Amino acid sequence: MRRIFFFGLLMFLLGCDDGDFIIEQLDFDETDVQEPCLDGTVTLFKISEAKNEALIIQLAPNSVDFTEVEVLEFPINNNTNKVLYRILDNEVTPAYFCQSVPPTSPLVTEEWYSPSGTIRITTTKEDDDLDGIPSEQEGMVLNEDGTVNMEASRDSDGDGFPDYIDPDDDDDRIPTIDEIDNTDPTNIVFTNTDGDDLPNYLDNDDDNDGVLTIDEDLGGDGNPANDTTDIDGEKIPNYLTPIANTETTKKSTRRKNVYQSIYTSVIEIVDGFKLQNENQEIKFDVETYLFGTVETPIKQEEK
């Protein structure tokens, strides 16, 4: 695939051929979408690696909610819905794009606009407890349409939060991420201290000494990991050794379940993507131009 790296080169080619110019890729294709400006005009933008070019989408205030699962389409009209390509005389920073009155510096030396096409924003949501185990390995059940069937998904400790949104799957107060070895996320090692059928993250008595891990929290601070016994000069948490099997008399308080909803908005330009500047026109030889994605994580906490 042909790739145009520098606008200067593009201008040179345009100069050679007085008509439309068709390209497949733009210098911006591999740069990330910056954090959107949402105060006033919704502005989505990408800055080139050299920092003196920007591809910008501008939409009416409050026209996009990046935490709403939906498909939005905005016909490009160069009024409320615009796509602009700017070349500046100096490096530009993200702050430049979020100001209601455009700063005088850096100066826009060239501005191209898109005369037609549609901006499409598709937002999907995925919940995840970020416990080190991918949701698909935590008994998450999907409906036929690809949405998650929360009721049918595995809930090992029966606390109402299926494992994929439960950061402590066996409710023993030791977070799952501390009960597995995920140094290599493609090859998670499910630690199993007592060698029974249950890996530690699903085992409420990790050392099989008859005292539940939750009851080996002698300090009663909600963390059994800091109650230790000295064995051969090493401090071993009581819940990981049957040598220490004292049961606490203190009641452990349950921590609130916390997980994340991660909204992913895919921003595309469909129905053809062109850029114009006076009499010159660049056409993108792609059915759908992928502008990029915006991720919005929202912390969810049990009430």
Q: Which residues bind Ca ion (CB under 5 A)?
A: 129, 131, 163, 166, 168-170, 172, 174, 176, 192, 194, 196, 198, 203, 205, 207, 209, 211
Residue 43 or 204: the one with the smaller Cβ distance to Ca ion is: 204
Least distance CB 173 / Ca ion (angstroms):
7
Nearer to Ca ion, 44 or 174 (CB): 174
Whose CA is closest to 34, among 50, 18, 46, 16?
Answer: 46
CB of 295 to Ca ion, least distance (A): 20
Residue with nearest beta carbon to Ca ion? 203
Least CB distance from residue 238 to Ca ion, whole Å? 8
- Which tokens sit at 169? 């799957």
Tell me what percent of the chain is helix, strand and coil, each rounded to the nearest 5: 10, 30, 55
Nearer to Ca ion, 120 or 255 (CB): 255
CB 209, min distance to Ca ion, A: 4
Of the pair 166, 268, the CB lying nearest Ca ion is at 166
Phi, psi (5° rounding) for residue 252? -80, 135
Closer to Ca ion by CB, 205 or 268: give it.
Answer: 205
Instruction: Tell me the C-alpha distance between 167 and 165, whole Å.
Output: 6
Q: Which residues contact 242 (CB under 8 A, 6 or more apart)?
A: 194, 207, 208, 209
* Burial letters 57-73, b for 16+ CB under 10 A, else e: bbbeeeebbbeeeeebe
Q: How far is the CB of 166 from Ca ion (least distance, A)?
A: 4
